[in-house]
Amino acid sequence: MSQTELHQLSVAELAAQLRAKQVSSVEAAQHFLARAKQHQNLGAFVSINEDVTLAQAKAADALIAEGKGGKLAGVPIAHKDIFVTKDFPTTAASKMLEGYQSPFDATVVRKLADSGVVTLGKLNCDEFAMGGANENSAVAPVGFDSAQPVRNPWNTDRVPGGSSGGSAAAVAARLAPAVTGTDTGGSIRQPASFCGITGIKPTYGRASRYGMIAFASSLDQAGPMGRSAEDCALLLSEMCGPDLDRDSTSLDYPAEDFSAKLNDSIEGLRIGVPAEFFGEGLSADVRTAVDAALKEYEKLGAKLVPVALPRTELSVPVYYILAPAEASSNLSRFDGVKFGHRAAQYEDLNDMYKKTRAEGFGDEVKRRIMMGAYVLSEGYYDAYYLQAQKIRRMIADDFQAAFKDCDVIAGAAAPTTAWAIGAKADPVSNYLADIFTLPASLAGLPGLSLPAGFGEGGMPVGLQLIGNYFSEAKLLNAAHRFQQATDFHLRNPAGI
């Protein structure tokens, strides 16, 4: 195997070659570490430690030599820097956690390590996963002295999406075969869409949140991002499963082999098409690509059925009340006492809190803490927080009504392709761009984005598939069948 082709292999292909000893884990790790350096202008990685990675790779090679090691033995991956890791620093892309070293691994990180993966490093993201363009990172990526926006490999003047922007850029540029991400309101699906890769957010509670730095606990979910549904299935099978002692919202529902049904026929699959996902606001180029993808599904035997998700528009105000409310509570732990940044000079305890938080948090994080504290405050709680909770339930009910008529729901993952870095300075325009990913998040449903074509400026378009609870295998099956018939997921950005 020529070294230049190693990064074009799928996770399954690479795992097979590792097991057959056609390539060693050390060689694979070295290859990807060299690529990360070569493409560090993208700002995808926030920490790399070659010694740690190569030691892990050596250990994987030793296990493989003994005929041991998990399913993914020796495969290098990278983690969003929102998962705590004992061998790499964890920052959540915030100054608040600069220099923080976790004494333990997040459950998802540990489970993947148990399956044999080797960690290449930690990936850039929006600060505390708040954002949709990865322009809110407050830490310097590898190779830089100061914070930089992550760049989209398809056009480095564009954003990669967010908050898992470093994760999506790394896969699109083939700096890692696959990666982890987290999705609170779209942070796996939207960057996957912007960077022309595949990503899935499982049913809320299927993957443990233990060791995932909390943003909005009732929404946060971990998931894999890779080139294809097949690769995502391999990782997801290792990431899911109960973690009842450590995560109070972990579901007592077993993981499954998500690769088992990938090839099932989708003849007769009923794809629900909500009019609300195709209205005003959806840009023409994205619509064209999504319509063509739906036609392709019809060719594969699926049937399109109209469904209604009448509260789609409300998902934006509902999410931007509930997520900040939870964030304001979760982020109260960053007070300069227990861990993280502490102001150097202060007068008394209150002053220490104030200065620490003023220095440690970026603008978007402060905005959310203020919004959250406001909607939870006496006198506003009923009008905002409680009302939003009620509508959240109705949004979930709307999905259940829709799933009476269909098996999966399809639409665009985002209303546009990736925009230019700096183009959306105003926070509300960023919030509005989340409209298609928020409904499934609020309902706790699994959602996937897969490459469905290209729009304006040759930028990737993602098709979102939403399924009912625990239908990850069905979503991956539908995505895989599409990927067997198309090659969007195999195309490389220029220069990659």
Tokens 């979910």 correspond to: 221
* 80 among known catalytic residues: yes
Q: Sheet with 447-454: list strands edge to edge.
A: 45-47, 118-123, 76-80, 178-183, 221-226, 198-201, 447-454, 460-467, 408-412, 270-274, 303-307
Name which of 183 and 398 has its Cβ closer to ligand GLN: 183
Name which of 69 and 462 has its Cβ closer to ligand GLN: 462
Residue nearest to ligand GLN (CB): 187
Name which of 113 and 413 has its Cβ closer to ligand GLN: 413
Q: How far is CA 160 from CA 48, 119, 198, 419, in A?
A: 20, 22, 13, 9
CB 107 within 8 A of CB 211: yes
CB 200 within 8 A of CB 181: no
Out of 24, 137, 187, 471, which one is annotated catalytic? 187
Closest approach of Cβ 419 to ligand GLN, in Å? 13
Name which of 183 and 231 has its Cβ closer to ligand GLN: 183
CB 264 within 8 A of CB 287: no
Closest approach of Cβ 88 to ligand GLN, in Å? 20
Integer Cα distance of 479 and 228 in angstroms: 8
**Closest by alpha carbon to 206, among 183, 238, 181, 240?**
240
Q: Give the side-chain half-sphere CA count within 13 A for 76.
A: 34
- Token reading at 465: 């598939």
DSSP strand pairing (447-454 vs 198-201): antiparallel
Tokens 């489970």 correspond to: 111
Out of 115, 137, 163, 167, which one is annotated catalytic? 163
Closest approach of Cβ 165 to ligand GLN, in Å? 11
Q: How far is CA 368 from CA 334, 371, 431, in A?
A: 14, 5, 12
Name which of 60 and 212 has its Cβ closer to ligand GLN: 212
Name which of 45 and 194 has its Cβ closer to ligand GLN: 194
**Closest by alpha carbon to 48, among 120, 109, 112?**
120
Out of 80, 95, 111, 474, which one is annotated catalytic? 80
* 208 among known catalytic residues: no
- Token reading at 64: 């493989």
Q: Phi then psi for 417, rounded to 5 degrees?
A: -80, 180
Interface contacts to ligand GLN, rule CB under 6 A:
129-132, 163, 183-187, 215, 323, 434
Integer Cα distance of 321 and 435 in angstroms: 14
Name which of 141 and 186 has its Cβ closer to ligand GLN: 186
Question: Looking at the annotation, which residues are catalytic?
Answer: 80, 163, 187
